[in-house]
């Protein structure tokens, strides 16, 4: 049966028919043929503890008995209030206010508007945003503008605004990044540095040192520039700590979180900011209002799921599970470290990545769709970024399930080397 559904990041002229998922559980998706598919990328990095964690699902069911959507402009509700207090308890120090939205893209868009609004309302407007090259921050106009220009946004170039880009701090070249940021900040017009802490996601799973992040924050402070930590992907344990900023001893001015905020069950996002940023918008002059909203801001059912996620972190051995997964990932990655079929074998926290050696690399590398088809046949959800293979599994994944994934990566490289892929 032909479907009218238009799927994301999908070229329907080339892709096979979509497999229909009828159930989820643990680290797996179950399709209508009964196949259990290992979700080795946490359904685009959102599932943390595992699909349908019982405590979170029970909280959703309980919230459904009391709530649906409530306008958040004139009213509040307990799930949103409890979640805000809980987030501020576990977030880096100095953050004092929580603004809710619906997705990673929108919470970063909110952060950019907060930063520009802060300087505008303070009577010292600044208009520039600094970003790291190869970054990806979402698909709204503001976040596309801040992201790497290329295939993701080429068609929309007339709509995008300019930003100042820092070279990625590759090992041995970190000072170039810091010097570039110093030069931009010296203009006095940089409102904020927007950065994915420690690892870039869709930009190629590139990893850099916490020391770089610490140094960038020092430069920002010297010039009165805000630092926005885009923790949409890196948050909730992916890099080993709850938030990646912790590893740099960093207190950002604005922090963005989504994806794992609800354990991956429902869409919700939050932008956390300092008291100073909130105070710049607090005024008897209504023109200084923070003008941002969406119809589903702080949906109470999604907030209840996030509150339950906080309780899972508090009451269950989540950090121990993350530590065990880190060890399992590190052990299995060793097999590929001296393998000429791969380059840049790397890991941070629970995330691993390695680049298949090909003549034509990049996001649109011809090998990408072939690899996805190869893994799909083996009941594995692995979506390479072109020739870049990565695993970001839920924390409940077993050693045997990881073995399946790494064995398939090994086999796929053999097939590619033999010209069968």
Contact 165, 129 (CB under 8 A): no
Residues 136 and 267 grouped into a single domain: yes
Query: Span 89-113, mean pLDDT?
Result: 98
Residues 240 and 200 grouped into a single domain: yes
Residues 156 and 215 grouped into a single domain: yes
Is the pLDDT at 160 greater than 80? The verdict is: yes
Asked whether residue 106 is assigned to any structural domain, the reply reads yes
CA distance 414 to 421: 9
Tokens of 388: 């870049």
Give per-residue pLDDT as tens, 339-372. 999 999 999 999 999 999 999 999 999 999 999 9
Angle between helices 210-222 and 174-186 (to 10 degrees): 20
Residues 231 and 132 grouped into a single domain: yes
Tokens of 92: 């880096």
Tokens of 173: 């070249």
Residues 223 and 321 grouped into a single domain: no
Residues 296 and 344 grouped into a single domain: no
User: Residue 372: which CATH number?
Assistant: 3.90.1150.10
Averaged pLDDT of the chain:
97
Asked whether residue 162 is assigned to any structural domain, the reply reads yes
Residues 79 and 226 grouped into a single domain: yes
Could you give the 3-state DSSP secondary structure of residue 21?
strand
pLDDT value for 2: 86
Residues 304 and 328 grouped into a single domain: no
Q: What confidence tier does 36 reach under pLDDT thresholds 50, 70, 90?
A: very high
Residues 78 and 204 grouped into a single domain: yes
Is the pLDDT at 232 greater than 90? The verdict is: yes
- HEC letters along 300-368: HHHHHHHHHHHHHHHHCCHHHHHHHHHHHHHHHHHHHCCCCCEEEEEEECCEEEEEECCCCCCCCCCHH
Domain encompassing residue 368: 317-417
Among residues 315, 344, 368, the one where a domain terminates is 315
Asked whether residue 161 is assigned to any structural domain, the reply reads yes
Contact 363, 396 (CB under 8 A): no
User: Residue 215: which CATH number?
Assistant: 3.40.640.10
Among residues 283, 315, 347, the one where a domain terminates is 315
Residues 197 and 334 grouped into a single domain: no
Asked whether residue 40 is assigned to any structural domain, the reply reads no
Give per-residue pLDDT as tens, 209-226. 999 999 999 999 999 999
Among residues 261, 280, 315, the one where a domain terminates is 315
| Percent of the chain at pLDDT exceeding 70 | 100
Query: Span 40-47, mean pLDDT?
Result: 98
Buried b (16+ CB within 10 A) or exposed e, 71-91: ebeeeebebbeebbebbbeeb
pLDDT value for 151: 86
DSSP type of residue 72: S
Tokens of 8: 């994301």
CA distance 268 to 364: 30
pLDDT value for 1: 64
CA distance 115 to 109: 10
Asked whether residue 104 is assigned to any structural domain, the reply reads yes
In this prediction the pTM is 0.97
Domain count, the chain: 2
Asked whether residue 50 is assigned to any structural domain, the reply reads no
End-to-end CA distance of the chain: 29
pLDDT value for 410: 98
Residues 109 and 235 grouped into a single domain: yes
Asked whether residue 384 is assigned to any structural domain, the reply reads yes
Query: Span 6-11, mean pLDDT?
Result: 96
Q: What confidence tier does 152 reach under pLDDT thresholds 50, 70, 90?
A: confident
Asked whether residue 168 is assigned to any structural domain, the reply reads yes
Residues 288 and 308 grouped into a single domain: yes
Give per-residue pLDDT as tens, 58-75. 999 999 999 999 999 999
Q: Which residue is associated with the tokens 């106009």? A: 141
């Amino acid at each position: 049966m032909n479907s009218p559904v238009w799927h994301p990041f999908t070229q329907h002229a080339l892709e096979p028919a979509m497999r229909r998922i009828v159930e989820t559980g643990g680290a797996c998706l179950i399709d209508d043929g009964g196949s259990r598919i290992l979700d080795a990328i946490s359904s685009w990095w959102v599932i943390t503890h595992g699909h349908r964690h019982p405590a979170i699902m029970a909280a959703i069911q309980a919230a459904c008995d009391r709530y649906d959507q409530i306008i958040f402009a004139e009213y509040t509700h307990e799930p949103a209030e409890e979640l805000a207090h809980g987030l501020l308890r576990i977030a880096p120090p100095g953050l004092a206010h929580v603004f809710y939205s619906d997705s990673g893209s929108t919470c970063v868009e909110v952060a950019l508007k907060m930063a520009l609004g802060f300087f505008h309302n303070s009577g010292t407007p600044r208009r520039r945003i600094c970003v790291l090259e190869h970054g990806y921050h979402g698909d709204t106009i503001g976040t596309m503008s801040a992201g790497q220009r290329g295939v993701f946004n080429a068609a929309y170039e007339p709509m995008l605004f300019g930003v100042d880009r820092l070279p990625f701090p590759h090992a041995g070249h970190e000072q170039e990044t810091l010097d570039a940021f110093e030069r931009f900040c010296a203009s006095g017009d940089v409102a904020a540095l927007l950065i994915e802490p420690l690892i870039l996601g869709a930009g190629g799973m590139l990893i850099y040192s916490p020391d770089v992040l610490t140094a960038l924050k020092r430069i920002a402070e010297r010039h009165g520039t805000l630092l926005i930590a885009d923790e949409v992907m890196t948050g909730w344990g992916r890099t080993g700590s709850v938030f990646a900023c912790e590893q740099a001893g960093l207190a950002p001015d604005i922090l963005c979180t989504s994806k794992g905020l609800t354990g991956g069950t429902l869409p919700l996002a939050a932008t956390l900011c300092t008291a100073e940023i909130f105070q710049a918008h607090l005024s008897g002059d209504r023109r200084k209002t923070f003008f941002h909203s969406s119809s589903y801001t702080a949906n109470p059912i999604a907030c209840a799921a996030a509150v339950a996620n906080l309780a899972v972190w508090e009451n269950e051995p989540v950090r121990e599970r993350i530590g065990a997964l880190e060890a399992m990932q590190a052990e299995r990655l060793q097999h590929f470290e001296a393998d000429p079929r791969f380059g840049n074998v790397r890991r941070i926290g629970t995330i691993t990545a390695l680049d298949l050696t090909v003549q034509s690399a990049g996001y649109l590398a011809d090998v990408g769709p072939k690899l996805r088809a190869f893994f799909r046949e083996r009941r594995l959800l692995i979506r390479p970024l072109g020739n870049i293979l990565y695993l970001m599994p839920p924390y409940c994944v077993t050693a045997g399930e990881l073995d399946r994934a790494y064995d398939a990566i090994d086999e796929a490289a053999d097939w590619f080397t033999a010209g069968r892929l």
